[in-house]
Amino acid sequence: MNKEKKDRDEQTGRFVKGNVAGLKHGTYSLARVRNVPSVRGVRALAKHLDRVKIELEKATPDLNVKKEILISQVVKTEEKLCLMDMWLRKTGMIKADKARKGLLELQPCLLSYLGFLNSQRLALTALGLGDRQTADILRIQDLVDEVDKDEKKRRQQK
């Protein structure tokens, strides 16, 4: 009980700055409390995003400011989608702690995932790219294969 009282301000009941319990609720809590979920293949992701940007610029003949902003938006959403894909491959789509209790609850990032997919689809449509062109540019399987190779190399080195 005493520890809980020390962690909180007596007047407001809020967490006192610098305590362990307060860290779990702060902006930087993930970095302080536990490691960010590790994602292999940062270089592969950077290469993939550079390739996507270059191919989108080639696919749009008359670049202007509007199209550059849309290309930037597509690349940013692609980055977030790739990171979510890698994380979901590692952790699974269903929360493990809830599954043990017999509940099927999806990971919370899947809601954001759908929003990013829709945003990317709308930006690509605004750029005037068709489905086939888009599929050729956003080849996620190449990135997945490269990350898998990196993980196999890392495991063999250990």
The 10s digit of each residue's pLDDT in 22-58 is: 444 444 444 444 444 445 567 778 888 888 899 999 8
Statement to judge: residues 64 and 22 lie in one domain: no
What's the domain count of the chain?
Answer: 2
Domain check: are 80 and 120 in the same one? yes
At 103, list the tokens. 């509940």
| Helix residue ranges, H only, the chain | 2-7, 20-23, 29-33, 42-59, 65-91, 96-100, 109-127, 131-137, 140-157
pLDDT higher than threshold 70 for residue 5: no
Q: Which domain holds residue 7?
A: 2-33
**Overall pTM surpassing 0.75 (yes/no):** no
| CA separation for the pair 12, 44 (Å, rounded) | 48
Instruction: Record the tokens describing residue 114, joined without a space.
Output: 């759908």
**Are 104 and 134 in the same domain?**
yes
